[in-house]
Each structure stands twice: as structure tokens, then as C-alpha cells.
Structure 1
């Protein structure tokens, strides 16, 4: 007879299983007095075994059920169990975050069953607005990703972690300056989604660390978002943070450290190439050379580093790599009536700028971030429960006084021969054309601090009203979020000096600018305050095969941004879900809400949506297909709105509350013989008292398939979203009115696309676990109506074209001779020559002008995709993520020598047109300050900037449990990780996402250790 000891034991009559409130004593613990209750199973009727994970670690609280009877059992803290069964019986084992497993009893005692982790831990449910939804009955368009995927990619921004992982979501990164959220943008079906954290809308804390997140859910169609009607059109990116589980205390500590390196960026040419090509550009304009043969030879041989410098500014002021470190500590646990999850996180990422020991302050572009989250769930009594979620963040961004982005721009544009870093006497090099020394800007310009403070608190009270009506419940929520940023600037200027060697050999220095003492300024950069309150009343019941779920909500969301007047959203909503036998599904959702930013007579509206679903696999005629788990068709349609139009920002003065007429300061007038000056007041932009939110009618058709006992699943969605009442200013206006036209709700844009997601996971011999997840999205937007002036030619019309396109001239190669250039149609004011771009005269009037402008980028759907795969076996695990974009075309033009002739040139300029390279040249002839003819927008500068990136790879090893449990460690995992390691693209000069030459996108290499107690 085998004995188990537990603090509390409750056998449910007829159900035969232990409640989740069963608390096991620590491993190997002995009974203590009468605190324990014991139960015994007769040896003749029982089998005994142990349940472990893929790494051999015992798993407590695994539920074991005999398939042919009602017998159940739960494993203790050593993973051991006994159950009434016989040889040949099939046991079903299940545990949260693990794949359910069936095991046939062959021995009567001491067998071991191994459970494998799910690739998607909660793949039986989706997080939706106001709760969860079983995937088997869901008909909304939803994508979801979980913590164990997010923490594979290093990023200080949530969007960076989501890249390539979710169908329908496109992430773009313009730069890599540490801690700057704005360098990452997200697009959900071509619109910017609203961010929601733990049910509170409009939150902007995207620097949340992945260990705090339970899941990230995309709500994409009208049905999933209609209850937030006026703010639902762009979809919702919903973050759900982690909660504590009932059971023994769990401590999880992760430490990582590594280096960041810049990915590819534009490469300035050497001083010698710059000088000889500068002379060539002058010769092309029939101007004398700026550099003599002696100058060129000095640049080539580096014989005169002060008079003829060749400074690689990247080497001078940038590090090859920068260190970072991150530490995270999670503590969770509790009992059924009180559970907690606490997370502490510290991130310190250094920038790429070099520093000097003579400074008593930091001049690098660094970020330091401290975060704490505490989620507590308490069951007050059997009917009332409460939760309190608190988040705090302190972040400090440090930069040089001249600001990191400005310095990076100087590095990008300054010729290598502009001036030496320092003169022989130690002074900063410079001259009249370059009065700011890059080295001085980097380490001698002071420093700038941006302090950010966030605080968020959510209080939820939930009451189970089943004593009144079975299945009835109520919930109240109050959430407060505040953000404050303070900018402290302590900067100074430095004089620069130009060295000159006089004919007699004496050296003189000419001064430019003045050195100043450090100035000090401070100010509040941004202040935000959000107060959200909500009440919910819900009803959930199962009547045989009939499932019913209904909810009513009412909420108030007040937000104050900076000095703006508060904006308030008030609304009510409801949803009713019904399913029969998980075979037929129907859902209706509606929102009625409004905001104070519109005219009092036109502030509210209804936003309805409905959907239907049919799981064909549940039909009787499909029961012979035992390999088919789900074959579900679903469709939804609804009307939603968007009060945050992407074409305008609610700011101050004329730009918000535009239903009012405003008057602004006008011209000064002189009166009387004394010519007294009085400032006049003029009428501002015309008001529009009928202004309203833009609206969208969104249709979605989906297909969900699961086969091979859910090992392989496939999801496809087609959407057709018509956005109308889009705010824009009429194109058919006239300046004779004397004031600006107001914005009006007249635009129409349609977005259509398809999305595919496929998942496969399998386990071989309970040892090798492998999985593949792929997603693919096609999207196109079409401007169905934009108010345009009458256009005389069809190619000038923008209505009916794809959104996001570029317009300009069509090129026809380069002119081969001056005679050809003179005979061709020309731009007014331009005198093209051989080697210049030839443009097509579309209307054959002999002139290149606005009537010849047309679409210059291909009208192809945007394509985003990701391939995420991995395996684990004998403690070794590997995860790999590829991410890419196709049909991406961009204007990639870096004008030689800049507009004033002061900028550098790059490697691609070396392949410019000359009489000798006329047949192979890929760049026009060189000019100083940019040729008026060659700098026009045209398809000559459009490049295919599509790419495929090895976004992430991680290799880990979990030490054997037999080794770690001796020192009371549940598991120890060591790992190495790389992010942005390889990029495959046709763009040769720079990273395809950093076309503007901003602070480099970073390649990240790091190692870490995870210890669980």
C-alpha cells in the first residue's frame, strides 16, 4: 500500500478528481503531526508511476485519468502518483502548458511518463475582449503569441519581439538607438492598432519585458473589437500579463549579457576618391578643379594627415560593439484564495559612441531601465475575488549634448577630408564650412538625459452571482496610468581651428565659433494621465449541447496628454455568443460610444458586428475521418470606427476641437502719425462642425483546420475592409478663399488581403520534440476616393491607386550624348547633358513637367512572412526565426556632395557615368550640389528593398534534473542567442530597414542562464 500526504484533500463525489486547491508538501517532506490527511489505495487495484518533463524533471499537479473509468489522481511534488487501474488500461495525463498524453499501462508499478511542452502553451483558448474563448468555438479573427516565443528575440521594445511572429502584423524598424520606442512601428492590416494591457485601452508602455507577458493577442476583425466601436477600426494589440498559479512558490531568475554591433550602413569613400570625384564633378560643370595633383597624391599616400586628412569618422567616434546586460527575477505562487506574481527587471544597454576618461559624466547613448510588476489575485470568499496589478518603470536615456541622432547624421554626411580630428597643437579641427567637429560633438558637448517614469495600477473586483442566477457574474475595473518624462540638457559648444602653413613655414590657426560653458536647461517633455473605469455583467452556461456566453459593459476612459484639454470616451457594449455542440456557432457584438472631441450633437454612434461559424468536422458524416480534429468555416461582418485618424494628430489650437472656429494672430498694422504698430487677428482655418470619426465596414472569412490529433493546424483569413469618412482636405480648393480649407470626412480607402498560419508540433519517443510555425500575409490598400482637381490625363489620377505609392517621372536610361540631351524633352530650367537621366514625355508636349508625373513604384500587394521552428531533445533546445518582407520598393537616393556640395559621397557613387563607363554606369554623371535634372523623383531611384532576415537563433542546454535537484534547483538552463544575424537583400549599401542612414539597426549576440527554484 502506497501513502501520499497532503495538507488538504477533497474528493468530489462522482467526479473522482482532486481540486486544484490540493497543496503538496515540499519534495521528500515528512508528515507533521495531524496537519496532514492521508489516503490509501489498495495495491491490488492500483498502478504507480512518475511523470516528468522532457528534461527529466518531476511534474507536480499533473491530472491522471483512466480513459475507461472515472478513476483520477494527481501527482505529488516528486511527480509520483497512484491510481486505480489495471494493466492494459489507457491513462490520460494533462497539465497546463504541456501536451496531453495517452499512456497504456504495461507494468503495474514504477513506470515513467514523459510530457512535452506545448509550442503554444494555451493552444486550447484565445484571449479575447473580456475573457477567454475556446479555440474550438471561436469565430473571431485572432492571432496570438506567448512568452516563450517573445523572449527569444532581444529588444527593448515589444514590437521588436513580435517581428515575424504573427500573421497580419508588420513591424518596421527605422533605427537602433537604445531605448527609443518610436524607431519601431507596427501595422495591423495596414493600420496602426490600439494597444491594450490587461483590459485597459490606449496604453503605450511598449517597453514591457517579455517575462511579464502571458500572451499578446491581435484582434483583427470587426467582431473581435466592435465593443470598442469608435476606437476599434484599426484592430487591437492586446497584452495579457502573467498571473500567479496556486502551488508552491516558484522563483525564476534569468541573467543575460552580450554585445550589440551595427548592421550594414552607408560607407563613405576615402579622401582620395572624394577629392578626385569632386574634381570630376566640377569638370562636368566646366569649372576649375578644387584639388591639385599634389593634393590628390597627398590624400592617396596619407603623407600629410593634418593638411590632407583622411578621417574614418566611424572608427574615430564609434565603437565596434557595445555591451548590454539584463536581469530578471520572477516570484510566483500562492494558494487558491491568494495568488501572486512579482517581476523585477533591470536592463542596461550601452550605445556605440566612444567616451573619454577626462569627462566626469557619461556621454554615450545609453539606456537604463528598471521595471517592477506585481499581480495579486485574492479570493475574498467563495463568491467575490479581487485582483490588483501594479506596474512601475523608471528609464533613463543618456546621449551626448549634441544628441546621438545628430552626431550619426554628421558621421554619415561629412567627407573624410573635411578636417583632421585634432590639429598638431591639440585643438579641434574644423573650418568655415565645417564649424562643428564630430569628435567634439561626441565627447566634448556635454550630455542630455531623458528621464521617463511610468506608473500603472489596475484594480478588479469580480462577483460570482450564481446563487442568484447560475452562470451569472459581475465585474468592476478601475485603472490609472500616468507617464512623465523630463528632459535635462547640459550642453556646450566648442570652437574649431583651421591650420594653415604660411609660405615661410610658420603655422597659424584660424578660429571658427566660440567655446562656451555648459548650459543647463530642463523641462517636462511629456505628461500623460489616463483614468479608465468599467463595469461588466456576464452570463455563461452550458445547457447540454447548448453553450451560451453573454456580456454587457459600460466604461469611461479619460485621458490628458500634455497641455491638451482632457479627452473622454464614454460607451456601453454587449456581446452574445452561442454554440451548439461546438458545431454551429453564432456571435453578435455591439458598441455604443463617443468622445467629447466632436460636436455635442454628433458625438455618439452604434457599432454592430456579427459572425457565424460551422465546424464541419463535428458532423456525423465526418466521424469516419478520425484524423480530422477540426474543419471550421467562420465569417464576420461589422461596422467600427476610428477617432484617431492617421492623417492628423489632436494637438492644440486649430488642430483639435475643429468643429469650433478659431482666430489667430495676424499681420501687424501701422496707425497714426506715430506709426503705432498693432497686431491684427485673422480667421484661422475654417471650422467643420460636422467633422466626425472615420468609419470602417469590415468583412472577414476564415478557415481553421486541425488534423493528426491537433499536431498540425492551419488557419487562413480573407478580409475586405472599407474605410470611409476618412479625414482629408479637398484637393479641388482655391487659394482665392484666403484661408485654409478644413478637413472633411470625404475619403474612402479599401484594404484587402489574405493571411495564412500553419503550425506543426510532434514528439518522437517522448524525447525529441520539434515544431514549425509559419505565417504569411498579403495586403493591399486602394484609395477609392480622394478629392482631386480635374486631371487632364489618366496617369495623373491618384484615385483607384494603391496606397503608399510613390509618384514622379519615368526614366528612360541616361543620355548618351549632349546632342541627344538637347533634342529631348527637358525640365524647365534644366540643361541636361550626357550622363543625365532621360525622362519620358508622357503627353508628348516637348516639356517634362507636372503633367508627366505618374506612378513610379509597382502596384503589388505587401507581403510579410515569418518562419519559426525549433526542437528539443535530451536537454538541448534550438529555436530559429526567419522574417522577411517582399514587394517592398523604396526611394534610395543619396545625392552626391549634398545640396551645398559639403557632403561626402559613398561607394555607389564610384559607378557613376563617365564617357568610359557609359554602358555600365548605374549612377548619373556627378555634379556639385546635385543636378536639378537628376534629383527629381523618378523610378530611376526606386529600388527593391525586400529582404529576408535571420531574425533570431537560440541554442540552449538544460542541465539534468538528477544533477540540479541535489542543490534544490528545479532547473538550470544556459543559452546563447543571436538577433539580426544575417540579412539577404538586393540593397547593397545599407540595411534595408535603415535607408535614411539613422543610428544603425543592431546585431545582438548574448549568452544567459535561467535558474528555477
Structure 2
């Protein structure tokens, strides 16, 4: 930039311009600039200032630039900066972990600029097994996200917070009462091993997201090989937060309150529709009607609520909304040679059941959870440091004496005309067919408590051995975990009464079913688990010019006792070597050698090697483009194992070693006239002395691209994994042996797929935004499945997609007797019009087991997610959309099941009748089980794919000046919603509640975060 020195013009009072003096002024302090913006002073001066975060702590490494011209500066360790700018012009502040911030330059006083955390966590550094690795030099298949993303989805489980956020990872969710939800994580078709801070995790996936620094998915063989025998399923690595050694104390408190509402579920028929359809079903079965026209009139008109009730059991037993609260307090910082992070969390989630004031105890299904974590790091001397991590959980679950899951199942299965809630005299309604009154089971049957306690302690010591040779280090660590659960049941039974009115006299009486009992106090079950884990590593990190080395060797021992099972241990060693040349050519190799006592001593240990290579083409001179930050090609290959299937459990719940032969209790024998039998002994399931771990050969290739100052990032991966030596029972077993056959390492599956993820981060003035999407396409094929001889190729499972359903191919519904007569004969059954018609695959004019085949479409699984976010001034908005494609499920909610006592739902109104034959979507109605229509067939396969607005959060940060009036570093209000909207072709119920049990919920949540 051209600089102009300025002569200072003196103006003397009363004399006009008498003289002009010229002298030089330092160019860096004041000068004219041709690119000074309009409205700003034309004189540039030195602008000094300091940058802090939302805690008011200094931020080092912030880049400050003039928005309208050249000139930059970077903050030092204390957050201070100095820049030449014109007063009044705009300065832009940027840092990878914070939002782009703009401020107006001011001269003469120090600027104070506060930066808010970025909308999305930075992933420039990955947490891996036993260390960290920069994204630029990584060839492993890794995905990672931080605590800010996790915090936006309300869930009591970490798995629920992660859904839709990472490519290759999806979660199957089974709703349940608070604290009893079931999450089935899936990483490339397998359930991953979970580790927290480098130690195998146990029951701590309900960890508070405020305690988490990052969650990392280790997907391929290279990323997990050091855990060899436990690495085939991948690893979910949780890294907890540490204190910040570069700042003083930080305090953060978050309080949130919200409600949950149940999502769509199967809608039961009214009593009138139920009764008339029941009569129709009986007629289809050739049986007389049980409901008269007078009965139907009473149901339709509601003129006899006690004799002909129409009870909405869901409304009578459940509340529309359930309250939930979450409070979190964490303190972090450093003092002297120590840094610390302490977090306290309390979650209170109320259940949906109604309660009554006459009880002196709680009958709702509530969950109260207390979590605590304390991570302390101490620098003992120049070379030795230590860390002590403590974590604990106290969780109390309460539920009604009728037990929450049973009540929810009863609501689903009980017809609306079963019985009134209460009789005119206040007694509980019921009868011999429906002897459980759901209202009584909810509020008059006592309660049950489940108590859970977890304690985890970790101690790690690290020594810097650079005095021996530069870059040498040693680490040793150990952890102990124990949990205790206890189930206390305090329940009682209630009699139910059926009102009877004498038609002649009008007198009333009650028929009693069951008995009222006193409350019992039973310790139903208790379990204790204990885990001890220790490991050690010796590492060496060295760089020389363009050559960079990172090597380590280690050993670990994991001993676990699960309840009454026999102890199991894993013992092994591992090693890793990483090398890169100028971050251009990359190489990494890893190996694990370990074993477990579940296998025969002669065949207990195995080696699991893996390696990977990478090439960052963007570093080449021939492709030196400013706009291209990374173009990295990478590939990995390796062998991993799975020993989690090594433990088998007997009928009494005791674990045993599969390679040993066991004898179990057999038939009792009586001798002489004695009435007491002597217990016999018989041979148990055959042993398999050659049983071994399951194995996988994994191949992964990927490309990572970053453009435009890393604003745009893209990753694509392809994997092809062969799982072999899978434990299976032989299909050719014969029952002539008289005892069970053992599982053998004979199965083989191919699992392969593609994963894509892309992120764009940008700014437009004071608006910052990002869009991040992920897509995973996966399928598995059973390459070998030992099965008995089958005469037709379509009967075989081998060669088909893994996890498919098998049955008959449906060809619609029979419309008349003539069609039945000219169709294939169904073995053992004469169909009627309105029954399902099946395809005769082998052409023998008979429908039997030889006509069964795969009935679900052979399509790969598709999972995807889209994260959108923006920030403007103090506002921020984050949206998560999650979807599942090619999801096909067997859905059959049968009418009048359970020997005619079952419920019926709205979709049964579309049943086949002679009048609705052309438009019917459901077979003719029957009472109880229909031999033909209840068979597994393609008729009941539904496309249950869905797209869900999984989460949305709107936040507002109070202006810094306003927050400081209350002596706060920052304050943020937020509104949050989970499971807000759902789009699906399947309309009968929510696609995550296909069985009609406890429904999925929508959570609306509001809160405040303050930082001191």
C-alpha cells in the first residue's frame, strides 16, 4: 500500500491560517489509505485490544483483519492484539473454534471483543486409540463430533443424541418408559465397542453431553486393529473434557425445563365399530353374533356407559404431557500445576401415567439421575504428569405396581368395550375375560423401584523421557468400574367387578373376579458387575525436516465379572507406526496380539495386523492451488476379530466355557417306595474344543477434499469387509443324537457400502452459517449359511441379503369361490373369499413350505442426515433432519387376537367384504388366529422408511454489555425441540413404534445457560 506522510496544519486563534508546519508522523500510526471505507476516519492509527470467549477468558490465535483492505494481526497467549486501522472501520475476527465476529475499530482506548463458540465443532484433530492425530495426516476411517452437537438433542442416552449426525452410524430406537428406552447402535452393520477416555466402557452410555469433549467413530481395521480380538465391530470412542491450562476458573450453569408428548400410534376402534366388526368376523367364521342390535345401539349412542362402555384407555390412564428437567453445573480451569474439570448433572424425567392424591407414594414412571465427573490433571514435575478421572451415576427409576410396559401393552390390546373404568359404586370395572383394570394397575397397585449405582475411577501417569531421546514418552494407566442394581417391588392386586342388572326387577349386583391383596415387599433382583482395566504404552514422536515419525508399543489387561458369570479376561499387546513425508505421503501400520480365557489354552491368542497408505495430492508442486487445501487419497486393509460371542449362558443364567463339556441336571429317579426322587445327570450341549473368535478382513478406501480455506469439506468412502468364522449351528444337525450341537466357526458374511459427508461453512456480513450432510449406503450378504438340503434355489438363505424376512409371496386377496377353485391348493386349509392368495413358486399346484422365499426387497440400507445452522448477531439456529431409506418391516396388527379378546384398530375398517372387494387393503376379518392369513408373507411387508425433523434449536446470546450488568460473562436462552415432524409412507403409527408398545415422544424444551 502506498503511504502518504502528512504535514500538520496549525490553526492559531484569531489569526486565521498564519503558518503551516510540516513534520513527519510515523507511517504506521497515522496515514491516508485509498481503501478506507466511506464514513470511517481517513486517518489510520494503531488499534489495540483483547479478545475473550463467552466465559470472558482470553483466546489465543484469533486472526484479525481489516474488512476493506490489507492488514492482519493474531492474538497472543493473553488474547491481546495490535493492528493498524482507521477508527470506525470494520475489523473481522476469526478462529476455528468460534464464530466469525465483526467489530468497529476504535482508537485511544483498548477494544474488548467477545467471540461466541462456533455453530459446529472443529474436527481438525481426531482422538484415536491412545492418542490424537491431525486430520491432515490421518489415513484411518474416522468420523467425529463434539459436545455442542450432542447437546442439541434431548435424550437420556448418548446413542439417541448421535442419531443422524455421522455417516455410517445409525440407531434403532425402541421407545420405553423413562430410563428404560432401548437404543441399538449400528456402525456399518455392527454394534460398536464403546470406550471412554481409552478404557472399555461399561454401562456409562448415559453420560452427560456436557462432560464430553468429542465422540469419535473408529470404523476401519487400521483404526481399531490394536484391539484386535474386540475390533471387528468398530469403536465408539468418547473423550471427556479437561480443564483449560491456559486460563483461570470457568463456571457454566445450564437449566432446562420441558415437556414430552407421545407421537402418533395405532388408533383403536370405538366400541360400536369394534362390536359390529366382531359380529362380522364371527359370521365369516360361521359363528353366531354375540352383539345384538340393542347392544350396538347402546354402544353407538352411549346410553349405557356401565353395561356398554366406550373407554378411551389411553385418555383414562395417561397424561398428554410429561414434565422433564435437566440442570448442569460445571467448573473448569487451572491453578498452579493442576487443571481441573468438574461436572454435576441432574435429570428428572416424569412418566406419562396419571397419579392420584390418595396414594402416599409415587405411582408414575419417573426417572431421576445424578451424574458427577471430576477430571484432574497435575504436572508433578518437569517430566511427570498424572490424571485422575472419577465418574459416578445414581439413578432411581419408579413405575406403577402394574408395571409400565405391561400397562402400555394393556392399553394397546384392551378393547374400548372391555369394561368401564369404575362402576357406579366406585369399584373397579372388569370381568373374567378382562380381569386387570388398567386404571387400577396404574394408581392402585403399588409401585416398583429400580436403583442403579455406577462408580468409575481412572488413574494415568505419563512421563516425558526426552532426556533419554527427544520425543520419547511413557504412559501407564488403570481404571476400576463397578455397578450395582437392585429392583424393589411393592405391589398389590385388585379385584374387579362386573355390574349385573336384573332385567325383570332392575336390581343391581356385582360379579367379583380376583382378590384384593395387601402390598408385598420383595427384593426382586439385584446384580453387581466389576471391571478392572490397565494398560501401558511406550511412544516416540520425532520430526526431522519433512520426515515425521510417531511410534508406540503397548499392553493391556481387561478383567470383567458380570453378575454371577465366571470371570473373563482379555490380555494382549499392540503397536502402531505412523510416518508422513511433508504431510504429502502417508503411511501407518498397527497390530494387536491378544486373547481371552474363553477359548482353549492352546488356541487362545491371535495376531491382528492392519496398514494404510495415503497421498495428499494438494501438497504436490504440480497442483499447488490456493483454493485447494486438501486432496487426500487413502486406503487401509487389515484383519480384526470379535470375541464377544465367546460367552454362552446356560438355562440357569450361568456362563460357561464353550470348549469344555458340561453335565446338567436330568430326569429324577425314584427308588423303592420312596416318593422323593434322586436328581439325575445328563450330558449337556456338545463342547467345541476348536471354537475361536470370529474374524473380519476389512478393506477401506476414501478421499478427503477441502476447498476455499477449508470452508468446503467433502469425504467419500467405500468399504468391503468379509466376516468369516462366524459362530453358527449347522443346519445339517440331526435330533437323533439326543443332545444339542455346539456352535462352530463356519459362517461367512460380506458387508460393504459407501459413505459420504460434506460440510460448508461461510459468512455473509454478520451472518455465519453452515450446512453439513451425510449419507450411508450399506448391505450385507450371507456368503455362507449352513443349511439343510433344499430342493429349490429360492429356498436357500446363502447368497441373500443379511437380515431379510422369508415367507410366501402374496398375490392379493381371493375374490370368489371360482378363483379359489382354479388356484393352487393350500395344504391343510380351504381358503375363503377375502383370504390372502399365495404364489405357487414350484408349480406343483400346492402351497406349502417349498413356496417360501425372501419377501423383503433386496435393497441396501440407506441412512442420511442433514445439519443446518446459522448465526446472526446474538441469534443462532440449528436444525437436524434425519432419514432412513429402504426400510421394510413386517407389520401385522391382527384383529380380535388372543382367542378373540384382542383389540382392533382403524386399519381394520378397510377389510375385505363383498362390497369392498375392489378397494380392500386388509383380508376378511376372523376371530383369533387365521391359519392362512397369519402366515409370514409379503402381504404384511410395509415400507417404513421415514424422514424426521429430529431436532431444532433456536438460541439467543444476550449482548455482552447487558450480561456484564449482572456480572455474567455471557447468558444464552434457547428453545429446543426433538422429534418435531415426521414424513413416512406408513401412516398407521409412528415408524419407530411398529409394535404398538410405548410410543415415541416429542420433546419441547427451553433453558438458560450462564457463564461466569
Q: TM-score, normalised by structure 2?
A: 0.92
- The correspondence of residues 605-684 of structure 1 with structure 2, limited to 5 A, is 605-623=606-624, 625-645=625-645, 656-672=656-672, 677-684=677-684
Contact 2:63/2:95, CA 8 A, preserved across alignment: no
Deviates more, 1:334-343 or 1:714-723: 334-343
CA distance in 1, matches of 2:341, 2:331: 6
CA distance in 2, matches of 1:754, 1:71: 43
1:786 Cα deviation from its structure 2 partner = 0.7
- The DSSP-based 3-state class of the residue aligned with 2:223 is helix
CA distance in 1, matches of 2:335, 2:188: 42
Sort the Cα spacing of 1:575 and 1:54 in 2 relative to 1 into closer, same or farther, 3 A.
closer
- The correspondence of residues 481-560 of structure 1 with structure 2, limited to 5 A, is 481-502=481-502, 503-560=504-561
Contact 1:195/1:204, CA 8 A, preserved across alignment: no
CA distance in 2, matches of 1:84, 1:381: 42
1:925 Cα deviation from its structure 2 partner = 0.3
Sort the Cα spacing of 1:784 and 1:852 in 2 relative to 1 into closer, same or farther, 3 A.
same
Alignment correspondent of 1:792: 791
- The DSSP-based 3-state class of the residue aligned with 1:433 is coil
Alignment correspondent of 2:332: 332
Alignment correspondent of 1:74: 76
1:180 Cα deviation from its structure 2 partner = 1.7
| Pairs aligned (count) | 965
- The DSSP-based 3-state class of the residue aligned with 1:454 is strand
Alignment correspondent of 1:34: none
CA distance in 2, matches of 1:116, 1:429: 60
Contact 1:75/1:81, CA 8 A, preserved across alignment: no
Alignment correspondent of 1:257: 257
Contact 1:976/1:1007, CA 8 A, preserved across alignment: yes
1:566 Cα deviation from its structure 2 partner = 0.8
- The DSSP-based 3-state class of the residue aligned with 2:152 is coil
1:103 Cα deviation from its structure 2 partner = 12
CA distance in 1, matches of 2:729, 2:372: 45
CA deviation profile, 1:738-787 (whole Å, cap 9, x unmatched): 1111100000011000001101111223x211011100000000000010
CA distance in 2, matches of 1:70, 1:52: 15
CA deviation profile, 1:252-278 (whole Å, cap 9, x unmatched): 000000100001111110000000000
Alignment correspondent of 1:444: 444
Alignment correspondent of 2:706: 706
Deviates more, 1:368-377 or 1:817-826: 817-826
- The correspondence of residues 559-574 of structure 1 with structure 2, limited to 5 A, is 559-574=560-575
The runs of 5 or more residues in structure 2 that have no matched partner are 1-27, 31-43
Contact 2:176/2:405, CA 8 A, preserved across alignment: no
1:505 Cα deviation from its structure 2 partner = 1.2
CA distance in 2, matches of 1:221, 1:908: 45
1:680 Cα deviation from its structure 2 partner = 1.9
Sort the Cα spacing of 1:811 and 1:573 in 2 relative to 1 into closer, same or farther, 3 A.
same
Alignment correspondent of 2:771: 772
Alignment correspondent of 1:63: 61
Alignment correspondent of 2:827: 828
CA distance in 2, matches of 1:810, 1:359: 54
Sort the Cα spacing of 1:350 and 1:71 in 2 relative to 1 into closer, same or farther, 3 A.
closer
CA distance in 2, matches of 1:186, 1:341: 29
Alignment correspondent of 2:22: none
CA distance in 1, matches of 2:238, 2:452: 21
CA distance in 1, matches of 2:660, 2:748: 25
Sort the Cα spacing of 1:676 and 1:157 in 2 relative to 1 into closer, same or farther, 3 A.
closer
Q: Is 1:940 matched with 2:942?
A: no
CA distance in 2, matches of 1:695, 1:650: 25
- The correspondence of residues 836-847 of structure 1 with structure 2, limited to 5 A, is 836-847=835-846
CA distance in 1, matches of 2:219, 2:804: 24
- The DSSP-based 3-state class of the residue aligned with 2:418 is coil
- The DSSP-based 3-state class of the residue aligned with 2:612 is strand
Alignment correspondent of 1:38: none
Deviates more, 1:976-985 or 1:818-827: 818-827
Contact 2:694/2:745, CA 8 A, preserved across alignment: yes
Alignment correspondent of 1:400: 400
1:674 Cα deviation from its structure 2 partner = 5.8
The runs of 5 or more residues in structure 1 that have no matched partner are 1-41
CA distance in 2, matches of 1:376, 1:651: 45
Alignment correspondent of 1:881: 880
Deviates more, 1:254-263 or 1:498-507: 498-507
- The DSSP-based 3-state class of the residue aligned with 1:784 is strand
CA distance in 1, matches of 2:460, 2:93: 34
Alignment correspondent of 1:268: 268
Contact 1:465/1:471, CA 8 A, preserved across alignment: yes
- The DSSP-based 3-state class of the residue aligned with 1:74 is coil
1:805 Cα deviation from its structure 2 partner = 0.3
- The correspondence of residues 716-727 of structure 1 with structure 2, limited to 5 A, is 716-727=716-727
- The DSSP-based 3-state class of the residue aligned with 2:578 is strand
Q: Is 1:453 matched with 2:453?
A: yes
CA deviation profile, 1:215-274 (whole Å, cap 9, x unmatched): 000000000000000000000001000001021211100000010000111111000000
CA distance in 2, matches of 1:740, 1:683: 9
CA deviation profile, 1:617-669 (whole Å, cap 9, x unmatched): 0000011x210000000000000000113996699778630101111111223
CA distance in 2, matches of 1:137, 1:144: 15
Alignment correspondent of 1:20: none
Contact 1:714/1:756, CA 8 A, preserved across alignment: yes
Sort the Cα spacing of 1:582 and 1:94 in 2 relative to 1 into closer, same or farther, 3 A.
farther
Sort the Cα spacing of 1:445 and 1:723 in 2 relative to 1 into closer, same or farther, 3 A.
same
Contact 1:807/1:938, CA 8 A, preserved across alignment: yes
Q: Is 1:196 matched with 2:195?
A: yes
CA distance in 2, matches of 1:334, 1:179: 35
Alignment correspondent of 1:586: 587
- The correspondence of residues 60-209 of structure 1 with structure 2, limited to 5 A, is 60-63=58-61, 74=76, 76=78, 80-82=80-82, 97-98=97-98, 117-181=117-181, 183-209=182-208
Sort the Cα spacing of 1:542 and 1:425 in 2 relative to 1 into closer, same or farther, 3 A.
same
Contact 1:178/1:349, CA 8 A, preserved across alignment: yes
- The correspondence of residues 213-232 of structure 1 with structure 2, limited to 5 A, is 213-232=212-231
Sort the Cα spacing of 1:955 and 1:103 in 2 relative to 1 into closer, same or farther, 3 A.
closer
CA deviation profile, 1:167-213 (whole Å, cap 9, x unmatched): 110111111421125x1110000000001001111422111111000
- The DSSP-based 3-state class of the residue aligned with 1:248 is coil
Contact 1:633/1:704, CA 8 A, preserved across alignment: yes
Contact 2:648/2:656, CA 8 A, preserved across alignment: no
1:85 Cα deviation from its structure 2 partner = 11
Contact 2:566/2:656, CA 8 A, preserved across alignment: no
CA distance in 2, matches of 1:881, 1:646: 39
Contact 1:889/1:943, CA 8 A, preserved across alignment: yes
Q: Is 1:1000 matched with 2:999?
A: yes
CA deviation profile, 1:675-718 (whole Å, cap 9, x unmatched): 77433211111000100110000000010000000000001111
1:408 Cα deviation from its structure 2 partner = 0.3
CA distance in 2, matches of 1:778, 1:645: 27
Alignment correspondent of 2:900: 901
1:965 Cα deviation from its structure 2 partner = 1.2
Alignment correspondent of 2:6: none
CA distance in 2, matches of 1:102, 1:312: 58
Sort the Cα spacing of 1:513 and 1:86 in 2 relative to 1 into closer, same or farther, 3 A.
closer
- The correspondence of residues 422-441 of structure 1 with structure 2, limited to 5 A, is 422-441=422-441
CA distance in 2, matches of 1:91, 1:123: 26
Contact 1:532/1:558, CA 8 A, preserved across alignment: yes
Deviates more, 1:202-211 or 1:891-900: 202-211
CA distance in 2, matches of 1:267, 1:572: 57
Sort the Cα spacing of 1:100 and 1:556 in 2 relative to 1 into closer, same or farther, 3 A.
farther
Contact 1:654/1:685, CA 8 A, preserved across alignment: no
CA distance in 1, matches of 2:366, 2:103: 54
Contact 1:647/1:727, CA 8 A, preserved across alignment: no
